[in-house]
Amino acid sequence: MSPVLAVFRRELRSFRNTAPAYIFAAFFLAVSAAWLFLVRGFFVRGEASLRPYFEVMPALFAVLLPALTLRSWAEERRTGTYEILVTLPLRPGDLVVGKHLAVMAVVGAVLGLSLSVPLTLSRYGDFDAGVLVTEYLGALALASACAALGQYVSSRSRSPAGAYLATSALLLALSAVHRVPAFLTLPGFLARVLVWISPASHFESFVRGVLDSKDLVYFGILTSGALYLSAKALVREAWR
């Protein structure tokens, strides 16, 4: 069995036996549905589009995903299991990727459950399947970047609560930073940078049904960069 798969399976066993994954699923599904039907009035608008459903996801991931990623390293250090983990013959990259894939498996399962919303609503309107696929692809890409950033913060944190708060603050800031130019007059270059660095601005393209390779590359770089830095943090910790 590949080392990554060994780590992935261990993480999934922990998610299966503890509350955070279930809490994440329950809040994500309940809040996103409430947002769509109660806040954005899906039936009142009379439009066969799930854009409001996906628009809330950056904020939802910012608040809920850190509950999954805080476990990655900060919790391992708190319980002492970090010592077991890093003395098994596994590379830092195996550990980081295995943990990331496990978080993404939980996110994937929850997004799979959320498919019940468009499936149920399909009897009331004709949804564009292509747009829906792009929206879900965007949600996965966004979640992947958020989870990778969460793991990096966790790899640098001593306390799980600190990891949660720091990740959540970072993700909320990144989700909102692209809106700053709308409120402040900034030099054009700076405004473009702020829009570019925000995952939410790239996610908006997916929500509009636009699959742009630049957005995919952005999320790919953010995910792989954060995972690389997490692995580096583990190596640095071993040699500090």
Binding site for another protein (CB under 8 A): 1, 3, 5-7, 9-10, 13-14, 17-18, 79-81, 83-84, 86-91, 237-240
Least distance between another protein and beta carbon 111 (Å): 24
Q: Which is nearer to another protein, 14 or 224 (CB)?
A: 14
Q: Which is nearer to another protein, 81 or 122 (CB)?
A: 81
Largest CA-CA distance found in the chain, in angstroms, rounded: 60
Show the DSSP H helices in 56-159 as ranges. 57-64, 66-69, 76-79, 82-86, 92-114, 116-121, 129-155
Q: Which is nearer to another protein, 73 or 219 (CB)?
A: 73
The residue written with tokens 């929206």 in the block is 135
Least distance between another protein and beta carbon 8 (Å): 10
Least distance between another protein and beta carbon 99 (Å): 13
Q: Which is nearer to another protein, 16 or 192 (CB)?
A: 16
Q: Which residues contact 146 (CB under 8 A, 6 or more apart)?
A: 61, 62, 65, 171, 199
Residues in the chain: 240
Least distance between another protein and beta carbon 239 (Å): 5
Q: Which is nearer to another protein, 21 or 171 (CB)?
A: 21
Q: Using N-to-C axis directions, what is the helix angle for 129-155 and 213-239, rounded to 10°? A: 20
Least distance between another protein and beta carbon 100 (Å): 17
> How far is it, in rounded angstroms, from Cα 220 to Cα 33?
28
Q: Measured on CA atoms in the order 206, 137, 217, 191, is the torsion positive or negative?
A: positive
